[in-house]
Amino acid sequence: MALRIANLSKTYPNGVRALQDLSLNIGNNMFGLLGPNGAGKSTLMRTIATLQEPDSGEIWLDDLNVLKNKDAVRQILGYLPQEFGVYPKISALDLLHHLAVMKGIHSPSQRKETVEALLQQTNLWDVRKKALSSYSGGMKQRFGIAQALLANPKLIIVDEPTAGLDPTERNRFLNLLSSIGQDTVVILSTHIVDDVKELCPRMAIIGNGKLLLEGTPSESLEVLRGRIWTKIVTSQAELSEIEKTFDLVSTQLTAGRHQVRVYSEQPLDQGFTPADIGLEDVYFTSIKHQQKAA
C-alpha cells in the first residue's frame, strides 16, 4: 500500500496559497509531516481525506484515484482531524457502536467484538460508559484514534494529535500510534519535532505549501553534519550581533543564558564549537532558509 501525491496545488478565495505544486510518495508504516502552523499541513490532510478539492494535481492510493473515487477511499480511511468533536453526553461505548454502523459493520457480534477490542487497545475500557464530556484531552484523543481504527483502515491520517497533551498523555498516545499495523499507511501531521523523531521511519518538511525536504530522519541529519555551530551568549548585545552576522538557526535559554545555534558551511571561531545535530536543527534550518528565499 502506497500513497502518491503529484503536483497538488490549492489557493483559497482570500488569496492564500496553501499548497504549491506539492508532490510526495508515502509508503507503508508511519510517515511524519512536519511544518509550522500555516504551512499547509491541514489543507493537505483534508484533501487526502476527501474533505476538500485541490485546484490541480492528483492523489493515488495504489491504483485508486483518491480525488475521483471518494466513497471508495472513505471505506478504507481512518481520520483524526486537528479539531475532533464528539457528542458530549454519549458514552465512548455507545458512540463507537454508532460510528461502527456508519462504517459498515452491521453484524452485532462483529461490531461488539470490534468496539470492545478498540476500547481495550486505547486503554479506555474502564471508562467506556462515561460521557465523553468527562474525558481529559488525552482520553478524547485516544477515543479519536479508536474511531479512526474502525473497520481496519488502510490509510490513517492524524493531524496535530499531541498538541495540548501533557507529557504522560503524549507518551501514551504515541505508544498507541506506534502499535498500528505495518501494512497501513499512517500520516502523522505535526509541528512537534519529537513526535516525528520518535515514531517515523520517513518524514517530510513543508513550509508555505511547498515541499522543503523529504527522506529518513538519518538522511536529513546527514545533510547538516558539520554545518551547525553553537555558543553560549552572555549579553543581549552579543545576541543581536550574532543575529545580524550569522545564519541563526535557533536560540534556547540555558541557565538564564542564550545558547545559540547557527548554520555555516565553513568552520567558525569566535567561541563557536561544533554542535551535536538533531532533527530540530533540520526543521528550523529548512523553515528559515525557505522564509529567506520567499
Digit-coded pLDDT (tens) for 225-275: 999 999 999 888 999 999 999 999 999 988 888 999 999 999 998 899 999
pTM of the model: 0.87
Q: Is 266 exposed, middle or buried (0-12, 13-18, 19+ CB in 10 A)?
A: exposed
Mean pLDDT, rounded, of the chain: 91
Query: Where exactly are the structural domains of the chain?
Result: 3-215, 226-276
Inform me whether the pLDDT recorded for 188 exceeds 90.
yes
pLDDT per residue as tens digits for the range 19-45:
999 999 998 889 999 999 889 999 999
Instruction: Tell me which of 52 and 175 has the higher pLDDT.
Output: 52
* Packing angle, helices 279-293 and 217-224, rounded to 10: 70
Residue 135: CB atoms within 10 Å: 18
Average pLDDT over residues 273-279: 93
Average the pLDDT over each of 24-28, 103-107, 171-175 and give the range with the smallest value.
171-175
Of the chain, the percentage scoring pLDDT greater than 90 comes to: 67
Inform me whether the pLDDT recorded for 281 exceeds 90.
yes
The three state secondary structure string of the chain is CCEEEEEEEEECCCCCEEEEEEEEEECCEEEEEECCCCCCHHHHHHHHCCCCCCCEEEEEECCEECCCCHHHHHHCEEEECCCCCCCCCCEHHHHHHHHHHHCCCCCHHHHHHHHHHHHHHCCCHHHCCCEHHHCCHHHHHHHHHHHHCCCCCCEEEEECCCCCCCHHHHHHHHHHHHCCCCCCEEEEEECCHHHHHHHCCEEEEEECCEEEEEECHHHHHHHHCCCEEEEEECCHHHHHHHHHHCEEEEEEEECCEEEEEEECCCCCCCCCEECCCCHHHHHHHHHHHHHHHC
Instruction: Tell me which CATH code domain 3-215 carries.
Output: 3.40.50.300
Inform me whether the pLDDT recorded for 181 exceeds 70.
no
pLDDT score, position 88? 83
pLDDT classification of 214: cutoffs 50, 70, 90: very high
Calculate the CA dihedral of residues 101, 105, 111, 117 and round it to 10 degrees: -110
pLDDT score, position 179? 82
Of the chain, the percentage scoring pLDDT greater than 70 comes to: 99
Pairing of strands 185-190, 29-34: parallel
pLDDT score, position 60? 97
Contact at 8 Å (CB) between 251 and 230?
no
pLDDT per residue as tens digits for the range 65-88:
999 999 999 999 999 987 777 788
pLDDT score, position 18? 96
Contact at 8 Å (CB) between 286 and 208?
no
Contact at 8 Å (CB) between 66 and 2?
no
pLDDT score, position 294? 66
